[in-house]
Structure 1
Amino acid sequence: MEKIVIEGGVALKGSVEISGSKNSSLPILAATALFGGEYKINNVPRISDVETMLKLLETLGAEVFFEKNSISIDTKKISKHEAPYDLVKTMRASVLVWGSLLGRLGRARVSFPGGCAIGDRPIDQHIKGFDALGYKTNIGGGYLESVSTKRTGGNYKFTVKTVTGTENLILSSVLAKNKTTLYNCAVEPEVEDLINFLSSLGATINQKGGTIEISPVTSLDPQSEPYSVIPDRIEAGTFLALGSVVGNEIEISNCEPRHLDEARKAIESVGSKVEKQGLSVLKVSSPPTVSPTNIETNPHPLFPTDLQAQLMSVLVLANGVSKITENIFPNRFIHVAELRKLGAEISLKGNVATVCGVKGLIGATMQASDLRASASLLIGALSAKGKSEVRRIYHLDRGYESIDNKLQGLGARIWREKE
């Protein structure tokens, strides 16, 4: 097992290139299991979550080749319908093969999903949605086993917005027997990217706000050209936050500015200057002093929960008191205890964190608890004086491609060591 060591207190300047989206790559890869064919997906990040998804697809019968950031995958021989515990336990997005297998084979057996320890993320919306669309699910032995009825397709309204739930029901509906209409759907860019990928293969999907209509087809078309995954807006937002630490100035390339509107507003509210320097380039310049601000997390298009921890790491050095309200995962504050080790002053009450800015941070040994929290600890350590260690960085490697190398390119003193 590895840890990351950081000697902080160094101003970071330069350019960083954003990788492809983790949260787009995973559902798109799962979608290749829906209909047997040969697919090529470009701009895929080299991260452990992608590797896990590829192992899962291989277990189902796919043939996979991953070179640089391009994946070639042949799913014609997929015949197995079980996603085993050993793979699904490490990554919640593994559950996305559920919808693809139901659409293709009419049955699926999927272990309860794992992933980050950031609070309760129930699977009930998937089960209720599948039931409404003609797929009956039994739960037993830690597995979810679903089978199709004679009539698939129909209408379902999500009672809670869920990205993977929306994606799973889309995947199960493309080859259904009847038209499907989904209401109160998640509208994240990653959902749109999945729809665009499926549409490029001949799926008939119409999205209008939170309503998605799927007119079923009997088969999908052969892929005519490689599909390129959108840039990772959460990685881009992470570097926007890092660029807001006093003294830093970062050019962020290969990003999609329209996916970052709320992140940009939040960063500008602390005093940073964010400039658009091309179709896919943003430049963030830190303020002389970080101003306090109040932020609430909400479903897209509002401020994302996946950037809450990173923004907190900026606000711990603000000139005043900030409040962060976590409306998506009320318990997503495990990183607070670790930031306190650096000297941060943060108090918690329910789903609200009150952050009292301090004049400086001192390096410490910290432990990552989830993917985005691990990024917040890096920001804190880079801002602190002295040496810090971040342990359990396998969380970090689940979603950030070579982030230590990217930070070195900005001038950070950061390296990996064996624990």
Structure 2
Amino acid sequence: MSEHFLVTGGSRLEGEVVVGGAKNSVLKLMAAALLAEGTTVVTNCPDILDVPLMAEVLRGLGCEVELEGSEVRITTPAEPKYHADFDAVKQFRASVCVLGPLVARCRRAVVALPGGDAIGSRPLDMHQSGLRLLGARSEIEHGCVVAEADDLHGANIRLVFPSVGATENILMAAVLARGETVIDNAAREPEIVDLCNMLNQMGAKVSGGGSTTLTIQGVRKLEPTTHRVIGDRIVAATWGVAASMTRGDVRVRGVNHKHLGLVLDKLRLAGAEVTPEVDGFRVIQRERPKAINFATLPYPGFPTDLQPMAIGLAAVADGTSMITENVFESRFRFVEEMIRLGADARTDGHHAVIRGVPVLSSAPVWSSDIRAGAGLVLAGLVADGVTEVHDIFHIDRGYPRFVENLRGLGGVIERVSTE
């Protein structure tokens, strides 16, 4: 059986939606539980497919994992296994984040090369070079990342690009290394800060979270902890863009609006009234959105994960917009699907030019990744007729209760199963 969405256009989204924990944080926090013997509890976990997948990865490494509601309990043994070569690893990209903790805790790791979204090349060179500077040996062998270390020691590491994944793996390896490690040009995302906070709760000595320089004083041992995942800024922003596209009025709760400063500024430029609130924000769009330009960049720039939503907004905006993709070269696959829906768009290298039209036209479309899938549903909301969105398993990996939340805002969407 396969599933697809039927999205009926023409509805104005209105109401309140609460977002859960951040997908881009929870999986790394679960991996960090490998660093301490005992039971670590992660709360505010989103109900998405990747969480049980990560649970399977950890079980394969010898952990006991219990999933109950929005809480995950991970009991890590005194001697975890170090070989993560099984089907779950190959299904999602974030599985590679067990590499750093395994090297730190076991002094060795064998991790199958991860799968995930088809959005472009995401090599592990920086992960491996960082581990080598910490004293490990690392190679790619038989489809796996293999790393071993007799000892780990502090080092000065400068990343050639502020990679989130590399920052996380090097950070988690460094917390149990001898001496001081400095990571320059580190990723600054709120999810990195969330990981730093959890590690410090476990007894690590990490400073500089949220800046371009992380400083880690290695410790001999960490202890388990209980930690609450931050709200998902990408899911929250998706609902904010949906409000703007449908000329709606949506209050988004469960997220720190300061994590979305540039995104909310862009919605204001599109003509929306955006009001920050204690636990979120409100977006009201009264007229047709205005065309604006977007360029994706590492945080605090405009997130690449929101590029499909930016294209969807531009497709129905008044005027011509330019979208520049600076992070993942294959993300413009999404434009081909938008053209099926009647968008006036063309791409040239890492630029896309979109001339807005008053309304899109319904058509069958296919998701290539999590965010593209959500972007296509948003486009279906502003298309005439009924849009079929296929390969929706991608959306389930990143958006908990997606259909229920959209219906709660007045959207018309149906999940259909077919042979």
Does the alignment reach a TM-score above 0.5?
A: yes
Report how far residue 222 of structure 1 moved. Answer: 4.0
Report the number of matched residues: 416
Structure 2 unaligned residues grouped into runs of 5+: none
Q: Residues 183-233 of structure 1, C-alpha deviation per residue, up to 9 Å, x if partnerless?
A: 11000000000000010111001116211111111111342xx31100000
Residues 222, 358 of structure 1: alpha-carbon distance in 2 compared, 3 angstrom cutoff: closer
Q: Is the 8 A contact 1:246 1:290 kept in 2?
A: no
- Residue 270 of structure 1: aligned partner: 270
Q: Residues 311-348 of structure 1, C-alpha deviation per residue, up to 9 Å, x if partnerless?
A: 11111011110000111113211111111111111100
- d(CA) in 1 for partners of 2:28, 2:224: 18
- Residue 367 of structure 1: aligned partner: 366
SS at match of 1:327: coil
- d(CA) in 2 for partners of 1:201, 1:34: 9
SS at match of 1:185: coil
Q: Is the 8 A contact 1:252 1:283 kept in 2?
A: yes
- d(CA) in 2 for partners of 1:252, 1:228: 19
Q: Is the 8 A contact 2:89 2:112 kept in 1?
A: yes
Residues 78, 237 of structure 1: alpha-carbon distance in 2 compared, 3 angstrom cutoff: farther
* Moved segments of 4+, more than 3 Å: none
- Matched to 2:350, the amino acid is N
- d(CA) in 1 for partners of 2:64, 2:180: 32
Q: Residues 24-46 of structure 1, C-alpha deviation per residue, up to 9 Å, x if partnerless?
A: 10110000011211111110001
Report how far residue 350 of structure 1 moved. Answer: 0.4
- Residue 106 of structure 1: aligned partner: 107
- d(CA) in 2 for partners of 1:140, 1:330: 26
Q: Is the 8 A contact 2:37 2:223 kept in 1?
A: no
SS at match of 2:188: coil
- d(CA) in 2 for partners of 1:194, 1:239: 25
SS at match of 1:89: helix
- d(CA) in 1 for partners of 2:380, 2:92: 26
- Residue 88 of structure 1: aligned partner: 89
Tell me which moved more, 226-235 or 79-88.
79-88
Tell me which moved more, 2-11 or 72-81.
72-81
- Matched to 1:270, the amino acid is A
TM-score in terms of structure 2 length:
0.97
Report how far residue 245 of structure 1 moved. Answer: 1.4
- Residue 285 of structure 2: aligned partner: 286
Matches within 5 A, 1:370-409: 370-409=369-408
SS at match of 2:206: strand
- Residue 236 of structure 2: aligned partner: 236
SS at match of 2:138: strand
SS at match of 1:113: coil
- d(CA) in 1 for partners of 2:45, 2:122: 26
- Matched to 1:364, the amino acid is A
Report how far residue 85 of structure 1 moved. Answer: 4.4
- Residue 218 of structure 1: aligned partner: 220
Tell me which moved more, 159-168 or 283-292.
283-292
- Residue 306 of structure 2: aligned partner: 307
- Residue 253 of structure 1: aligned partner: 253
- d(CA) in 1 for partners of 2:223, 2:60: 24
- Matched to 1:269, the amino acid is L
- d(CA) in 2 for partners of 1:206, 1:376: 36
Residues 78, 67 of structure 1: alpha-carbon distance in 2 compared, 3 angstrom cutoff: farther
SS at match of 1:46: coil
- Residue 70 of structure 1: aligned partner: 71
Q: Is the 8 A contact 2:294 2:310 kept in 1?
A: no
- d(CA) in 2 for partners of 1:416, 1:369: 18
Report how far residue 144 of structure 1 moved. Answer: 1.1
SS at match of 2:5: strand
SS at match of 2:321: strand
Q: Residues 37-81 of structure 1, C-alpha deviation per residue, up to 9 Å, x if partnerless?
A: 111111000111111111100111111111111111111255211
- Residue 358 of structure 1: aligned partner: 357
Q: Is the 8 A contact 1:85 1:112 kept in 2?
A: no
SS at match of 1:416: strand
- Overall identity of the aligned pairs, in %: 37
Tell me which moved more, 290-299 or 280-289.
280-289
- d(CA) in 2 for partners of 1:315, 1:152: 49
**1:16 corresponds to 2:17:** yes
Structure 1 unaligned residues grouped into runs of 5+: none
Report how far residue 83 of structure 1 moved. Answer: 1.4
SS at match of 2:145: strand
**1:2 corresponds to 2:7:** no
Matches within 5 A, 1:317-336: 317-336=316-335
- d(CA) in 1 for partners of 2:78, 2:413: 44
Q: Is the 8 A contact 2:33 2:224 kept in 1?
A: no
Q: Residues 125-147 of structure 1, C-alpha deviation per residue, up to 9 Å, x if partnerless?
A: 00111111111112211111100
- Matched to 1:259, the amino acid is H
Report how far residue 150 of structure 1 moved. Answer: 3.2
SS at match of 2:360: coil
- d(CA) in 2 for partners of 1:151, 1:185: 20
**1:171 corresponds to 2:197:** no
Q: Residues 244-276 of structure 1, C-alpha deviation per residue, up to 9 Å, x if partnerless?
A: 014311111111111010110111111111112
Q: Is the 8 A contact 1:319 1:358 kept in 2?
A: yes
- Matched to 1:325, the amino acid is T
Q: Is the 8 A contact 1:33 1:78 kept in 2?
A: no
- Residue 342 of structure 2: aligned partner: 343
Q: Residues 67-123 of structure 1, C-alpha deviation per residue, up to 9 Å, x if partnerless?
A: 111111111255211112412221111000000100100000011121100011111
- Residue 197 of structure 1: aligned partner: 198
SS at match of 1:29: helix
- Matched to 1:394, the amino acid is F
- d(CA) in 1 for partners of 2:152, 2:68: 41
- Residue 131 of structure 1: aligned partner: 132
- d(CA) in 2 for partners of 1:78, 1:378: 45
Report how far residue 403 of structure 1 moved. Answer: 0.8
- d(CA) in 1 for partners of 2:278, 2:151: 48
Q: Is the 8 A contact 1:246 1:288 kept in 2?
A: no
